[in-house]
Amino acid sequence: MSIQQFNFQAKAAVSLFLLFVITATISSVILLGLELSGQKKGLNIPTIAQIKNKYTTPTLVAAMRGNMYEHVTADEDIDTVNNWIKEGVKKEGKLYEEAAQIIKQDCANCHSKTSKMSKAIPSMPFDTYEQIVSHTDAGYSWSKMSKQAHIHMFGISTFLVIISLLFAYTTYKESIKNVLIIGSFGAAFLDIFSWWFSKFIPELVYLIFAMGGLMVGSILLMCVLVLANIWKKED
């Protein structure tokens, strides 16, 4: 049996599902690019430097270079905060005083439980030294990575298995099916687990870039190929 044998209603449902997946996949790439680049619009394909910043840099510094960049007064302020963290986030000395002033000026107005600003983030306060230090670890924390990993793996595997099953019943060559189906699942697996360990092995950011691109490309290509095949007249 091939998907070409589906009735009209089934073909329409499958086609609409795939169009939703294509739109969602492109949207996720746009969102990731905006978050990593700090831009407000456009398709910004993440660079190696941006990916490295997200997964290997202290969370506070990564935010200042990324989606919170617009609130940073000067680029030198990011370097000052980064140097303070590198020196052990000591609660004393010139670097601490400078970093504390920068955070108070650039971050604390929004990051406060009592903030009344429209874009306030009271759930992530920077009111005390201890609260600030909690965001100075490199990369994602284990708890955050566990949360991100299981959400992404459950979500991606759910729609990916549906796409793969549909693609498996197309009339394309078996070798093409094998490469795209195994490649998409393998890329997703390596991409997500590279998030986890890149804070320890920075070179894994290249794997994140490659596997993320391969996963997105495989998903989009399978969707397009299924759409083309499902409406093709049977030979």
Distance CA 104, CA 73 (A): 12
Instruction: Kindly state the DSSP code that residue 91 receives in the 8-state scheme.
Output: S
CA–CA gap between residue 36 and residue 47 (Å, rounded): 9
Q: What's the pTM value of the predicted model, to 2 decimals?
A: 0.74
* Residue type, position 180, single letter: L
Is the model's pLDDT at 104 over the cut of 80?
yes
Specify whether 162 is located in the same domain as 189: yes
- 3-state helix, strand, coil split of the chain in percent (to 5) is 70, 0, 30
- pLDDT band for 118, please (50, 70, 90 cuts): low
Q: What is the DSSP string of 132-190?
A: HHTT-SBS--HHHHHHHHHHHHHHHHHHHHHHHHHHHTSSS-HHHHHHHHHHHHHHHHH
Instruction: Indicate if 45 and 156 belong to the same structural domain.
Output: yes
Of 133, 154, 176, the last residue of a domain is 133
9 and 76 housed in the same domain: no
Residues 107 and 7 grouped into a single domain = no
Number of domains within the chain: 2
Burial of 226 (0-12, 13-18, 19+ CB in 10 A): buried
Residue 232 has pLDDT above 80, yes or no: yes
- Structural domain ending residue among the three candidates 133, 166, 185: 133
Is residue 235 a part of any domain in this protein?
no
Same domain for 207 and 223, yes or no, is yes
Residue 126 is predicted with a pLDDT of 82
pLDDT digits 0-9 by tens, 195-214: 888 888 889 999 999 999 99
Q: Residue 84: which domain range? A: 58-133
Question: Does residue 153 sit in the same domain as residue 226?
Answer: yes
Q: Are 9 and 118 members of one domain? A: no
Shared domain for 144 and 206, answered yes or no, is yes
Tell me the mean pLDDT in the region 32-47: 81
Whether residue 62 has pLDDT greater than 90: no
- The string of pLDDT tens digits covering residues 10-35 is 999 999 999 999 999 999 999 888 87
Q: Are residues 44 and 72 in the same domain?
A: no
Q: Does 157 lie in the same domain as 127? A: no
138 forms beta bridges with 58
For residue 181, the model assigns a pLDDT of: 96
- Which of 87, 115, 133 is where one domain is finished? 133
Predicted confidence band of residue 122 (pLDDT cuts 50, 70, 90): confident
> What are 164-181's pLDDT values in tens digits?
999 999 999 999 999 999
